[in-house]
Structure 1
Amino acid sequence: MDTLGTIFIVEDDRKTRDLVSAFLKYQGYDIVHAAPSSNIFDTIREKHIGIVIANLKFLAGIAPDFMEQAKKTAPLLVLIGYGDNTHISPLSEDNVFLMSKPLNLDELESLVMRAREFQTMKSQDTPDAAHHPHKLCSSIIGKSSRMVALFELIEKVAESSATVLIQGESGTGKELAARAIHQLSSRSDRNFVPINCAAIPEDLIESELFGHVKGSFTGAYANRVGRFEMADKGTLFLDEIGDMKANLQVKLLRVLQSKEFEPVGSTKSQKVDVRIIAASNKKLEALVESQDFREDLFYRLSVIPITIPPLRERREDIPLLIESFLSRFNSEKRHAVTGFSRDTLDILCAYDWPGNVRELENLVERLVILKDSGLIVPGDLPDKYLSRKTQVKAPALPPGDEFPEIGICLNSALEEFENRLILQALERTGGNKKEAAILLNLKRTTLIEKLKKKNLALGREHETL
């Protein structure tokens, strides 16, 4: 059985060491202890250990330069003694996590999760991170065939300086894809400059893009550098390009053709070397047909077209996204939500996600804030997600029917069968939960908990205790 990783414990207090070891072993980690008089940092390097849990005073006593050493090796989780705050100030480092005694195991679990997230973020900064099967440039996450194909396309596109057009629904991650292209390109050490063409007033967007000279219009009290100049030798990301007005489309086309522009109010052209990545949640082909978007500009922008699939077309990525968001928000908000129950994941995987990944991210953040700790169960979800919980890809199998050709969702079938039995028991007993629990061979409290969890109920006029 695979473990979650190895944790090195440096602790001279036997009770603390045994408690931490037992708890983390139960969580699924391998544990290594410091041998007497050993060089702990040699052990960390030799065994490729990523997380160290140490008694602050003890570690400082055997390795006075432990902060410098720790920064070169692993995230360091320090256990501080009673009322000992003398070392907190010098520990203000990204890879140092603080907790105090007496130990709170929930806090310990949360801090270990934060340390693991720190490791993940650091590994994504390496050149090999782009080849991670589930992530691209620490931003885009997915393991579905659609996302794997997208990762491969982005890596190929990044090698050139060709103009890219990214299309997809709102919330699918178009800007993340654009940033990934920039990060993987030879321009990664230069600016990535985004601008939302729909968010800037029409009378200001030209100045935002090309800059202006002093006195060129009312309020132009000084020269201003535009986004094109900011992005010189780098990448300019034009989001919601479909909302750009016709007169500005003409000027953008000229820049793409000539690689030069004129600031507002200036008669001098400026050369610029910018890679353009444009994005739209509208179908630009349809806008071309309706003559709301220039056809020649469309072809200039869509040298390499990329389409980001909506979340409902890659449902197998939902658990992976939830895991990533949960880890990040637990770390940011210092909460200890342990995960999502299987029933909750089934509900979320069946939901259509009109807001796509952004909606899922917002939901996970909301749940982490409200839940604080423990397991997310269906009852924690907003009503609009619970109302969709019977939507599954494959139908449940009614008793006695043939197995459907398109397959079946076993979890849903079992849940439907259990729900039906519970409701039948309540109907037979006139809504009396105590008697229904006896019929189902359950404790009354267990039945009540199931009713809450499943959001099941007879009509109020039939319910009794």
Structure 2
Amino acid sequence: MKKILLITDEPKLEAKVTEALAGWTIIALPDAARATAWLKQEPLPNLIIIDFELKSEDGLAVFKKLLPPVKVIMLAASGSIPLAVSAAKLGVSEFLRKPFDAKELKQIVEKCCVSSEVTLKGREKYPWLSGQSPVLVRFFEQLASLLIEDKPVLLISERGVPKGEVAEFIHFNSRQQARRFVRINLTAFNQEPLVGALLTTLQELTYLPSATTLQALPERCGTLYLEGFDLVDPVIRETIANFFVGRQDRLDRSIRWLVGVGSPTIFQPTELANFSLLTIPPLRERLADLPAILSAYLKPACLNYKKAVTKIDLDLLAFLSIYDYPGNYQELADLVAGLVLAANSQVIGLAQLPLSFNDLCRTAVKQALKDKYPLVQAQRGFEQQLTKILLQKTGQDTGPVARYLDISKIALCERLEDLFD
């Protein structure tokens, strides 16, 4: 069933939209806060309709807060041309005056939703994209929706999330896949004397080919990914932006532009309106996918180190499911490689875990707090978790554990009896 999110606090408008769009599932919410909460929990709707005349704030303010990755129709009592122009500049797909004709609304909705189905290929190439969690499903829905549009894409993620692989994945599934995928690390040009070389490169890649060019289609740039845009000097960022703004008539508009940043806060809201935004979820938000990701990482690690690991111990899996992965997917990939390298059997467990004492303590604390015990019980739970991990890492040898904790072996044994009686 196709689904539309309607943001309105007017019951009569909700009833009219529902009647006009019979056959669609209409989810009506009264404000931006509840719409944001709903969008975080549910699969993306096919379309969003926003009532401009909300009691709490106007529809454009709601749109700026949501910056949704699907098309938006704005309904407004005013037929003001400046208002319609402002909406279009921000990225609103259609502007319809109230009271609207039901047939016209239906036609606009169908136009906005045409060709909204996209089949994504090539996920198996990227182990960290394994899984079927709601978070991952939602991410792929957003990605598929932006493939339909021609707007540049802003890839947003934390450290350790491979934005470049997402850029490759987008290229592989786009209309430009027959042409070249070009990745430019802007931090390599983060010095004023190198800016000229960067601009020359951009010109060679992005200018329309001349009538006499002999360059074959596969040799032409199809997708250009600018990596580390937020990591370079603001003056260089401005220079790059001016390059594209000042050469609109000479640029090859068939090229898909991708820009990688850690945060979109370096852009003004009006600048963000020029992009489709795609936030790549960090690993800690996808722990439901952890078994699938581990399995996908395990295979290449076994081939690389010529090991025959076939199973992950349940205690290790439990530990990995509460670890917070400050280094994201790259840290997990390195962790699995370390586990496989240290393996001496077909099963890997806590004994092979190559983590620091601080990592172990942080994870043990997290598990203790997760159980929501009173403080004394939480402290006891922390000790249980930590000593259990340390004992498994030392093959149940209390001597190294006592030295590690800087206590006597007798004191450790007495404490273990108390903790695990």
Which TM-score applies when normalising by structure 1?
0.49
Equivalent position of 2:338 in the other structure:
366
* Alpha carbons of structure 1 residues 374 and 152: separation in structure 2 relative to 1, 3 Å: same
- Match of 1:353, SS? coil
Equivalent position of 1:144 in the other structure:
133
Q: C-alpha deviations, 1:373-413, integer Å up to 9, x for none?
A: 43221121123443344222730779xx9xxxxxxxxxx98
Instruction: Report the CA distance between 1:315 and its aligned residue.
Output: 1.7
- Match of 1:165, SS? strand
Name the CA distance, whole Å, in 2 between partners of 1:316 and 1:249: 38
Equivalent position of 1:284 in the other structure:
264
Q: How does 1:105-144 map to 2 (within 5 A)?
A: 130=121, 140-144=129-133
Equivalent position of 2:279 in the other structure:
307
- Would you say 1:459 and 2:396 are equivalent positions? no
* Alpha carbons of structure 1 residues 208 and 231: separation in structure 2 relative to 1, 3 Å: farther
Q: What amino acid is aligned across from residue 311 of structure 1 in structure 2?
A: L
* Alpha carbons of structure 1 residues 383 and 136: separation in structure 2 relative to 1, 3 Å: same
* Alpha carbons of structure 1 residues 417 and 140: separation in structure 2 relative to 1, 3 Å: closer
* Alpha-carbon contact 2:126-2:165 (below 8 Å) kept: no
Name the CA distance, whole Å, in 2 between partners of 1:417 and 1:247: 50
Equivalent position of 1:383 in the other structure:
356
* Alpha carbons of structure 1 residues 397 and 246: separation in structure 2 relative to 1, 3 Å: closer
* Alpha-carbon contact 1:129-1:137 (below 8 Å) kept: no
Q: What amino acid is aligned across from residue 158 of structure 2 in structure 1?
A: E
Identical positions, percent = 22
* Alpha carbons of structure 1 residues 418 and 236: separation in structure 2 relative to 1, 3 Å: closer
- Would you say 1:206 and 2:208 are equivalent positions? no
Structure (1 or 2) with the larger CA radius of gyration:
1
* Alpha carbons of structure 1 residues 248 and 419: separation in structure 2 relative to 1, 3 Å: closer
Name the CA distance, whole Å, in 2 between partners of 1:158 and 1:142: 21
* Alpha-carbon contact 2:222-2:256 (below 8 Å) kept: yes
Name the CA distance, whole Å, in 2 between partners of 1:193 and 1:178: 10
Equivalent position of 1:341 in the other structure:
313
Instruction: Report the CA distance between 1:316 and its aligned residue.
Output: 1.8
* Alpha carbons of structure 1 residues 128 and 276: separation in structure 2 relative to 1, 3 Å: closer
Q: C-alpha deviations, 1:115-141, integer Å up to 9, x for none?
A: xxxxxxxxxxxx977397xx6876623
- Would you say 1:234 and 2:215 are equivalent positions? no
Deviates more, 1:149-158 or 1:383-392: 383-392
- Would you say 1:321 and 2:310 are equivalent positions? no
Name the CA distance, whole Å, in 1 between partners of 2:297 and 2:136: 18
Name the count of aligned residue pairs. 274
Unpaired runs of 5+ residues, structure 1, are: 1-126, 213-223, 262-268, 289-293, 402-411, 421-444
Equivalent position of 1:119 in the other structure:
none
Equivalent position of 1:156 in the other structure:
145
* Alpha-carbon contact 1:159-1:184 (below 8 Å) kept: no
Q: What amino acid is aligned across from residue 340 of structure 1 in structure 2?
A: I
Which TM-score applies when normalising by structure 2?
0.54
* Alpha carbons of structure 1 residues 295 and 154: separation in structure 2 relative to 1, 3 Å: closer
Equivalent position of 1:432 in the other structure:
none
- Match of 1:336, SS? coil
- Match of 2:281, SS? coil
* Alpha carbons of structure 1 residues 449 and 359: separation in structure 2 relative to 1, 3 Å: closer
Q: C-alpha deviations, 1:39-84, integer Å up to 9, x for none?
A: xxxxxxxxxxxxxxxxxxxxxxxxxxxxxxxxxxxxxxxxxxxxxx
Greater per-residue helix proportion: 2
* Alpha-carbon contact 1:193-1:237 (below 8 Å) kept: yes
* Alpha carbons of structure 1 residues 142 and 205: separation in structure 2 relative to 1, 3 Å: farther
Q: Which has the higher contact order (CA 8 A, sep 6+)?
A: 2
* Alpha carbons of structure 1 residues 187 and 201: separation in structure 2 relative to 1, 3 Å: same
- Would you say 1:275 and 2:256 are equivalent positions? yes
